[in-house]
């Protein structure tokens, strides 16, 4: 364990500068990531060297223990360069935050390497045997983002209770070396996240590396098994798991805006006398509206992050109405980010859909990321509306 007294903790501005310095590298490799479905080791090494895989690791282990306001800003900067790379980085940091909520033993196991990448899947397996000291688990789990680069995976499994009682759902942390990875991630966007499937064949999971998933659903930090009183790890789980989905679409929208603005002053508008494009009122209007939509997305995500950080720092459980609002902030932000990119694609015209144009990749990535269940604007809007009107919102299990 690292001596926190000698570990310098960079500020938000310093970490943002490190992320900004990586954007050209991520842009350089973004097409390769999209085509090959994987992130080059050199890119991940640069992210590690910048300390950007330590954002949510406890200071006790050499981490930075940064709040979610910092997380949103830093993660969205990376997405300006490459959506898939930003997603894997963000997913790893989110997963490490959940490790900070758990017991001391599993924290020591995972954070022995504070730069390790984690991945996980929420689909449960029912092929479980209870044995002395833990569980023997088999099964296949899909869509583990970043698993080709990970050192640990989180898998859900169900332990059957006595007859007539519902099963108990646990999440276990397993070394990636104990599972087999199958390439099953065949999608049109976010292609480089490596969200493949893993299979375990009678893998032993010690008790100390498991947690009852129902503890997370309470969103009450008093129920978390961590023995350490660290404000970052008092956050409500489901608002966090929702909020982080919005980071990549936000960064992609900002990256698209920057690219269009840069090209508009250097290229003519096809089929018109406008040269450069920036002289066109229609282009000016589209860019202005896109910029406002990007700002809207950012402000909603910042508010959600500030809510999470504020209630954690206060040492109070986030109330249901605020949890529902964070979900609404996420859904609205993701919708605004995608709308911004749509406006920019319209401004550029058919050329935006050329495979040589990075805009089409940003458009694909943002729209695939936006379809994540935790960012579903229709469900999140309904949840928030029900909460505002005093109607039961328990249909949305992630909001309660």
Domain-by-domain residue ranges, the chain?
4-110, 118-213, 237-388
Question: Are residues 210 and 171 in contact, defined by beta-carbon separation less than 8 angstroms?
Answer: yes
Rounded to whole angstroms, how far apart are CA atoms 182 and 199?
A: 8
Confidence of residue 59 (pLDDT cuts 50, 70, 90): very high
At residue 65, does pLDDT exceed 70? yes
Question: Are residues 190 and 83 in contact, defined by beta-carbon separation less than 8 angstroms?
Answer: yes
Mean pLDDT of 133-148: 97
At residue 245, does pLDDT exceed 80? yes
Q: Using one digit for the tens of pLDDT, what is the confidence trace for 251-285?
A: 999 999 999 999 888 787 777 767 788 888 888 99
| Residue 332 burial (C-beta neighbours within 10 Å; 0-12, 13-18, 19+) | buried
Determine the 3-state secondary structure of 315 from DSSP.
Answer: coil
pLDDT (0 to 100) of residue 360: 97
pLDDT (0 to 100) of residue 278: 80
HEC string for 220-270:
CHHHCCCCCCCHHHHCCHHHHHHHHHHHHHHHHHHHHHHHHHHHHCCCCCC
At residue 396, does pLDDT exceed 70? no
CATH of domain 237-388: 1.20.140.10
Rounded to whole angstroms, how far apart are CA atoms 125 and 205?
A: 13
Confidence of residue 397 (pLDDT cuts 50, 70, 90): low
Question: Are residues 270 and 349 in contact, defined by beta-carbon separation less than 8 angstroms?
Answer: yes
pLDDT (0 to 100) of residue 386: 94
Measured in degrees and rounded to the nearest 5, phi and psi for residue 205 equal -115, 110
pLDDT (0 to 100) of residue 161: 77
Rounded to whole angstroms, how far apart are CA atoms 298 and 161?
A: 45
Q: Using one digit for the tens of pLDDT, what is the confidence trace for 167-209?
A: 899 999 999 999 999 999 999 999 999 999 999 999 999 999 9
pLDDT (0 to 100) of residue 5: 46
pLDDT (0 to 100) of residue 4: 53
Fold: same for 4-110 and 118-213:
no
At residue 160, does pLDDT exceed 90? no
Positive/negative CA dihedral, 233, 237, 241, 244: negative
CATH of domain 118-213: 2.40.110.10
Nearest Cα neighbor of 330 from 253, 211, 226, 241 is 241
At residue 6, does pLDDT exceed 50? yes
CA-to-CA separations, 182 to 35, 41, 146, 399, in angstroms, rounded? 18, 19, 13, 32
Rounded to whole angstroms, how far apart are CA atoms 300 and 249?
A: 13
CATH of domain 4-110: 1.10.540.10
At residue 17, does pLDDT exceed 80? yes
Rounded to whole angstroms, how far apart are CA atoms 180 and 370?
A: 29
């Amino acid at each position: 364990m690292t001596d926190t007294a000698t570990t310098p903790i960079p500020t938000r501005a310093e970490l943002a500068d490190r992320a900004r310095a990586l954007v050209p590298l991520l842009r350089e490799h973004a097409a390769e990531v999209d085509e090959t479905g994987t992130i080059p080791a050199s890119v991940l090494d640069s992210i590690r060297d910048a300390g950007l895989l330590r954002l949510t690791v406890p200071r006790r282990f050499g981490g930075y223990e940064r709040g979610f306001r910092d997380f949103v800003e830093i993660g969205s900067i990376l997405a300006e360069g490459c959506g898939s790379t930003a997603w894997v980085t963000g997913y790893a940091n989110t997963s490490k935050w959940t490790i900070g909520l758990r017991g001391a033993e599993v924290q020591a196991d995972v954070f022995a390497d504070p730069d390790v990448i984690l991945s996980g899947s929420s689909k449960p397996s029912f092929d479980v045997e209870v044995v002395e000291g833990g569980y023997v688990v088999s099964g296949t789990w899909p869509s583990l983002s970043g698993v080709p680069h990970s050192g640990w995976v989180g898998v859900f499994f169900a332990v059957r209770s006595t007859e007539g009682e519902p099963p108990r759902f646990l999440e276990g942390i397993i070394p990636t070396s104990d599972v087999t990875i199958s390439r099953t991630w065949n999608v049109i966007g976010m292609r480089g996240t490596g969200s493949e499937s893993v299979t375990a064949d009678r893998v032993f999971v010690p008790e100390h590396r498991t947690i009852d998933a129902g503890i997370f659903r309470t969103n009450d930090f008093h129920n978390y098994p961590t023995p350490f009183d660290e404000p970052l790890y008092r956050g409500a789980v489901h608002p966090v798991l929702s909020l982080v989905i919005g980071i990549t679409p936000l960064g992609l929208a900002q990256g698209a805006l920057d690219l269009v603005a840069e090209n508009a002053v250097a290229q003519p508008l096809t089929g018109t006398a406008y040269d450069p494009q920036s002289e066109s009122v229609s282009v000016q209007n589209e860019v202005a509206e896109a910029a406002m939509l990007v700002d809207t997305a950012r402000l909603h995500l910042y508010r959600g992050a500030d809510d999470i950080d504020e209630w954690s720092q206060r040492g109070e459980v986030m109330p249901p109405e605020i949890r529902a609002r964070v979900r609404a902030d996420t859904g609205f932000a993701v919708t605004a980010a995608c709308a911004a990119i749509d406006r920019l694609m319209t401004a550029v015209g058919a050329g935006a859909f050329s495979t040589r144009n990075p805009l089409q990749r940003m458009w694909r990535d943002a729209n695939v990321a936006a379809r994540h269940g935790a960012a579903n604007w229709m469900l999140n809007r309904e949840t928030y509306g029900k909460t505002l009107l005093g109607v039961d919102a328990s249909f949305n299990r992630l909001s309660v």
